[in-house]
């Protein structure tokens, strides 16, 4: 018989712990049950962080990639992919603009390649840190020795999405790569002093609910300080271009499950939700999120950073309005975490 989710059930699980079948019940909850879960998730978020959220700025600075993930438009094997990279001064100008807009977390994102050197990135990080900003990296797997260079320059957080905890699906989606290695790299990042972030891509063809539950356990076992979920949207020119999109309503339940199960992790309201649902990012905050990322990749280049086609680009005004609509007060990451 299917579990009925009530406030008493949620309270009991919060006190005594969630088992796998409980998390599965959250993911398969009815609309009415989901409202109770979202309310409980907001309560946990507000108890842990206060009624606050922060904005970070992302710049996607290079899109050449040595990998060929089946879902990504920047894959090596996509002949239509236009390749770009930004230079040091361009990045610094963008960081200054973010700073002048009150943003204190700068997120440097790139596809996985050696097209930029480790020392070049080190000097970018150092200059952005000198502006008074925290630097977050999402640049894939590199030499282990690079991690110290970047950490010493001031990068303190690193995101590496594991995409799926299903070993076979991972290998199918990321040909030539192993889930074990990705998890090990997250542990390596931790051992070099980084706070780590990870999470799944929800809705990959062949993904199961059980694997999503395992994603939650993996995030818990990694003690990820940042946990996120993006919803699969097909990218043109990829083997998955004709596959259906993932289910954003399931994504919202996944956010609530992360908040209820992991409690103190930072959870972003990712752009895929806004692309798929009206007020999608507001709904993420309603389900327990507390971070939103504005896209500051130059207009002329960002359409070539094709993690999915026809992207929704989060602007500053939209981010601020969404936080306000969710009844939260904008703060900085440092204040939120009392760093």
**Interface ranges with ligand SF4 (CB under 6 A):** 65, 67, 69, 72, 74-75, 111-112, 140
Provide the minimum distance between the beta carbon of 76 and ligand SF4 in the complex, in angstroms, as a whole number.
Answer: 7
For residues 124 and 159, give the distance between their C-alpha atoms in angstroms, rounded to a whole number. 18
Provide the minimum distance between the beta carbon of 206 and ligand SF4 in the complex, in angstroms, as a whole number.
Answer: 17
Provide the minimum distance between the beta carbon of 120 and ligand SF4 in the complex, in angstroms, as a whole number.
Answer: 19
* C-beta closer to ligand SF4: residue 80 or 152: 80
Provide the minimum distance between the beta carbon of 67 and ligand SF4 in the complex, in angstroms, as a whole number.
Answer: 4
* C-beta closer to ligand SF4: residue 172 or 318: 172
Q: Are 253 and 37 in contact (CB under 8 A)?
A: yes
Provide the minimum distance between the beta carbon of 185 and ligand SF4 in the complex, in angstroms, as a whole number.
Answer: 12
Q: Are 219 and 260 in contact (CB under 8 A)?
A: no
* C-beta closer to ligand SF4: residue 112 or 127: 112
Provide the minimum distance between the beta carbon of 212 and ligand SF4 in the complex, in angstroms, as a whole number.
Answer: 19
For residues 238 and 232, give the distance between their C-alpha atoms in angstroms, rounded to a whole number. 13
* C-beta closer to ligand SF4: residue 162 or 259: 162
Tokens encoding 182: 């990705």
Q: What contacts 302, CB < 8 A, 6 or more positions away?
A: 60, 295, 311, 313
* C-beta closer to ligand SF4: residue 74 or 94: 74
Q: Is 229 exposed, middle or buried (0-12, 13-18, 19+ CB in 10 A)?
A: buried
* C-beta closer to ligand SF4: residue 25 or 271: 271
Provide the minimum distance between the beta carbon of 216 and ligand SF4 in the complex, in angstroms, as a whole number.
Answer: 21
Tokens encoding 144: 């282990």
Provide the minimum distance between the beta carbon of 78 and ligand SF4 in the complex, in angstroms, as a whole number.
Answer: 8
* C-beta closer to ligand SF4: residue 75 or 275: 75
* C-beta closer to ligand SF4: residue 200 or 288: 200
* C-beta closer to ligand SF4: residue 140 or 288: 140
For residues 225 and 240, give the distance between their C-alpha atoms in angstroms, rounded to a whole number. 31
Provide the minimum distance between the beta carbon of 199 and ligand SF4 in the complex, in angstroms, as a whole number.
Answer: 13
């Amino acid at each position: 018989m299917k579990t009925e989710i009530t406030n008493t059930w949620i309270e009991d699980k919060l006190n005594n712990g969630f088992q796998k079948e409980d998390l599965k019940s959250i993911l398969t909850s009815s609309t009415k049950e989901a409202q109770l879960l979202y309310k409980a998730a907001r309560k946990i978020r507000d108890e842990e962080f206060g009624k606050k959220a922060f904005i970070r700025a992302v710049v996607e600075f290079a899109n050449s990639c040595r990998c060929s993930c089946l879902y990504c438009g920047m894959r090596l094997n996509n002949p239509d992919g236009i390749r770009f990279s930004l230079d040091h001064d361009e990045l610094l100008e963008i960081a200054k603009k973010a700073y002048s807009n009150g943003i204190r977390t700068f997120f440097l994102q790139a596809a996985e390649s050696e097209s930029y050197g480790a020392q070049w990135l080190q000097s970018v990080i150092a200059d952005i840190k000198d502006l008074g900003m925290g630097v977050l990296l999402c640049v894939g797997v590199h030499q282990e020795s690079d991690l110290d260079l970047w950490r010493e320059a001031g990068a303190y957080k690193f995101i590496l999405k594991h995409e799926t905890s299903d070993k076979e699906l991972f290998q199918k989606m990321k040909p030539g790569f192993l889930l074990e290695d990705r998890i090990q790299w997250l542990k390596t990042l931790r051992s070099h002093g980084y706070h780590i972030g990870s999470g799944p891509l929800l809705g990959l063809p062949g993904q199961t609910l059980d694997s999503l539950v395992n994603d939650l356990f993996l995030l818990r076992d990694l003690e990820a300080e940042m946990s996120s979920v993006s919803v699969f949207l097909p990218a043109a020119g990829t083997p998955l271009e004709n596959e259906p999109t993932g289910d954003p309503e399931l994504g919202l339940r996944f956010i609530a499950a992360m908040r209820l199960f992991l409690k103190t992790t930072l959870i972003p309201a990712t752009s895929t939700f806004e692309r798929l649902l009206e007020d999608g990012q507001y709904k993420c905050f309603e389900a327990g999120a507390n971070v939103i990322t504005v896209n500051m990749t130059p207009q002329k280049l960002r359409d070539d950073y094709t993690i999915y086609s026809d992207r929704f680009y989060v602007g500053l005004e939209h981010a601020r309005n969404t936080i306000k609509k969710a009844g939260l007060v904008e703060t900085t990451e440092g204040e939120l975490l009392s760093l």
